[in-house]
Chain A
Amino acid sequence: MSATLTILLRTAIFILVALALCGLIFQAAGYSALDMFASILDGAFLRKGGLSQCLRWALPLFITATGVVLSFRCGFFNIGAQGQFYMGAIAATAMASWLNGMPVAVLVPVSILSGMAGGALWALWPGILRFRWGTDEVITTLMGNFIAGLILVYVTTGPLKDPSGSGQQSSSKPLAAAYRISNSMGLSPTIIAISLVVGIGMWLLINRTAFGVLGGLAGRNPEMLRWQGARMWKFGLASFMVSGALAGLAGAIEVFGPNGRLVGGFLPTHGFTAVLIALVANLSITGTAVAALFFGGLASAALYLPIMAGLPSAAIDIINAAIALFITAKSRMIDRMFSARGKTP
């Protein structure tokens, strides 16, 4: 049996194990696991308009996840997608409020580009610490997530605050309707086009360029690449910046698309889910597209559960976390069951 099929089966089996564990937790917490899974399935895919909602959540996740794929392929645990996502959203909003009144054709592209720049810069400092001084990127990018979250709260209650805003949630001034790239449903040709461009571009970068292929080698065997004289920091910094820029792009899209403004503490699990998507997809771009649809469905179910089914939305976080717990597992038993029999290497 081919290697791809083995990987697919292994992924499917461990996702089932994770779901079984979640079922146990739901039962223990006093909910019916069957009801829970039925409502999640309903909220994610089956209900009326469910697929378009699923796509709405899947596209930003897909964009962030492609960036994560690149940096993981290069062998760097950039788990700071959340912080880069926030900084992208902040930079895009700041640029938009600075340019307010300019024509749409200027403001929107410039703001989205500055969002990408914001995300890339937020990924740059852990990268520099990593390659200049060997500071471990896992901790720095994680701490960067917390710091960016606090900066977001500061910005939405301070400099970018909406003075007329009321209620508990702090937010920036809403963007003028003309500047937005989608309505509140969050699905528009512009967003789909951006996602397609990102997806195809990243596929080409990873599979059809020297950078992508060498980057993949850098992740699998950094020693070899170093002996051959490649400069690791080049691959590292580039992968950090590209993944940061893509997370920033997703943040800018959330601001200019469905949200229409910057909200304090919005989508707190976006980055983690993107990391998860990259891993479920086994670090391939086509796989990322499929996995993004699955997790996009779960994300839309997280909104559906408390309102329509009266169940807590924490259920979705638990499912995501359980999948994360098992997704990198490699069971020798499963490998032996499905790997090529007879032919010995």
Chain B
Amino acid sequence: MIDFIVAVLRSGTPLVYVALAGMIAQRAGLWHLGLEGIMIIGCCATIIGIVLTGSYALAILIACVLCILASMLLWFVIEKLKANPIIAGLGLTGFGVGGTALAAQSIFGSQAAVTAPFGAPRLGDSFGAFASLSIFVAAMPAVVALLWVLLRRTRFGLQLAACGEHPFAARSLGIDPERIRLFALCVGGVLCAIGGAELASGSLQIFAQNMTAGRGFMGFAAVVFGAAHPVWTALAALFFSLVGAIGIRAQILFGDAVPHDLLLALPYLATVLGVWISGRLRGGAKGANGFSELRDY
């Protein structure tokens, strides 16, 4: 049982960080579909940073800076050039996936996975069964609590929500929605960098092409399922990874009776289910109403 909890935490933590990044953007009024791309930049930058600098702190710093730059690019394209957020986000995702593949190949000269000599600091023996988890897992509840306080109990958090719900009203009170969205995306960039770092260096210490495999989109679905509430979003992300872990456990129990690849599809199915349930509970998602929706310019 405790092994199972460890497995869920290990696979769920990157998802939670990425979902939190999407949650902030969602509250500020942006559909953040570039999560996947920013996350894989975080993965790649962490591993390459460890290999090149030999210091974990520096590697995380590099990952954060690159992810913030990518987020700022997305912000510029969406807010300044008025691009469609969904298409621009998908473009950024492709950009991240292709760019990291190119970077890994140009630095290490091969398409194979890149391995780092060490990974994220672990919790250590004093945590018993949880000793092999990284510090980011332990930091996760604190981050969720911090974001909850920031978004639900401060003036700034309310302003951010106002920018998402009624930007026109926010602007009439002297709040600049564009600037608040820039902040939201940059904080999201840091969270994606941490999520990517946890995915790449939390247990495996490896970067492989396309290693995020849809986790960014799953994180976005967790935002929709969790109604962009910090705690519910984190729980939704953990739920998706729980379903994935159940799939792996089922494989160990039943062997080849159930096809392996179909069990791998379980988290994606859970995501569809989650979005469907949230549509039933809250009457559908808002936002993607076509190209020429009346927007606040």
Contact = CB atoms under 8 A, between A and B. Distances in A.
B143 interface: no
A321 B101 contact: no
A31 B288 CA distance: 38
Secondary structure dominating the interface of A:
helix
B265 A147 contact: yes
A91 B237 CA distance: 33
Contacts of B73: 325
Nearest to B284: A134
Given A136-B284, A151-B261, A324 B77 contact: no
A222 B264 CA distance: 38
B99 to A, nearest CB: 6
A98 to B, nearest CB: 20
B172 interface: no
A279 B106 CA distance: 31
Interface string B151-188: 00000000000000000000000000000000000000
Interface residues of B, number: 58
Interface stretch (B49-57, B122-130, B195-203, B274-282): B274-282
A131 B286 CA distance: 14
A162 B87 CA distance: 38
Given A136-B279, A143-B221, A312-B101, A77 B284 contact: no
Contacts, number: 177
B252 interface: no
A194 interface: no
Contacts of B95: 318, 321-322, 325
B275 A139 contact: yes
Interface in A315-345: 315, 317-318, 320-332
Nearest to A320: B94
Q: Which of A146, A158, A315 has the most CB of B within 10 A?
A: A146
Interface in A94-108: none
B83 to A, nearest CB: 4
A219 interface: yes
Contact of B271 (A26, A139, A154, A331): A139
A153 B265 CA distance: 11
A58 B70 CA distance: 31
Interface in A113-139: 129, 133-139
Nearest to B274: A139
Contacts of A136: 224, 275, 279, 284-285, 287-288
Contacts of A331: 81-82
Contacts of A318: 94-95, 98-99, 102
Nearest to A334: B81
Given A30-B107, A325-B77, 4 more contacts: A135-B284, A150-B262, A269-B94, A323-B91
6 contacts: A136-B279, A275-B90, A314-B101, A314-B102, A326-B81, A331-B82
Interface of B: 31, 33, 37, 73-74, 77, 81-84, 86-88, 90-95, 97-99, 101-103, 105-107, 111, 213-214, 217, 220-221, 224, 259-262, 264-265, 268-269, 271-272, 275-276, 279-280, 283-285, 287-292
